[in-house]
Amino acid sequence: MIYELPLPILLAVLACSYVLGSTPFGVIVTRLGGAGDLRAVGSGNIGATNVLRTGRKDLALLTLLGDGGKGVVAVLAARRLFGDDVAALAGGAAFFGHIFPIWLRFRGGKGVATFFGVMLTVAWPVGLAAAVTWLVVAAALRWSSLAALAAAALAPLAAVGLHQSSTVIGLSLFTAVLIFYRHQENIRRLRSGQEPKIGSKKASAA
């Protein structure tokens, strides 16, 4: 289906998905909710974990839903119009937009919520396997960042093992690489034993 789609239309789909993914829900909801500029709070990350540091659980939930939801919307819209393969590409573009948002000078979040939104919609068995991995690792070891890394690393293996299309496998690899890239500081802290655990007041954003 990808090869049958005129290039200008495909580029337009990717551009729209990227712009949607660039929407910084964390920044928006904290400002509208009177919690100030999220980028000046905690780690400065725009994700739900950092929003939680403002003390506003309601805003953190809205951010989580927004960041995951924009991936869902990008995939569903593209799937309805152009099919599964284009939907996977649209999901990848939305994920990329969250990490490198045009509105924030390409300084975005770590992509975990958007990753789950995209993968659960593109290929729910792969997304479910990743989500279960996150829950197990987080519950057992209480490191949110390690749970995210484990989930991202498992996704390509699950995609291959579950006989998903090459587009889905490519998407899972793409998201995994970028999640590992955005978690470089967390990886360094994990290796040095300085990564705060879930529930710690200094817990780092996943």
30-59 confidence digits (pLDDT tens): 989 888 888 877 777 888 888 888 878 899
Residue 2 belongs to some domain of the structure: no
Residue 156 belongs to some domain of the structure: yes
Residue 200 belongs to some domain of the structure: no
The number of angstroms, rounded, from the C-alpha of 94 to the middle of its chain's C-alpha atoms is 9
Strand, coil or helix: what is 149?
helix
Residue 16 belongs to some domain of the structure: yes
Residue 204 belongs to some domain of the structure: no
pLDDT value of residue 202: 54
pLDDT tens digit sequence for 167-199:
999 999 999 999 999 999 999 999 999 988 876
What is the pLDDT averaged over residues 5-14? 94
Lowest mean pLDDT among 5-19, 42-56, 62-76, 117-131: 42-56
Q: Encode 72-91: b = buried (16+ Cβ within 10 Å), e = exposed.
A: bbbbebbbeebebbbbbbbb
Residue 206 belongs to some domain of the structure: no
pLDDT value of residue 170: 97
Query: Structurally, how many domains does the chain consist of?
Result: 1
202 CB burial (10 A radius; 0-12, 13-18, 19+): exposed
Residue 205 belongs to some domain of the structure: no
- Domain span holding position 21: 7-192
pLDDT tens digit sequence for 51-94:
888 878 899 899 999 999 999 999 999 999 999 999 999 999 99
Residue 203 belongs to some domain of the structure: no
How confident is the prediction for the chain on average, in pLDDT?
Answer: 92
The model's confidence at residue 4, banded by pLDDT at 50, 70 and 90, is: confident
Query: Whats the size of the chain, residue-wise?
Result: 206
pLDDT value of residue 55: 79
The first and second tokens of residue 75, run together, are 């995939």
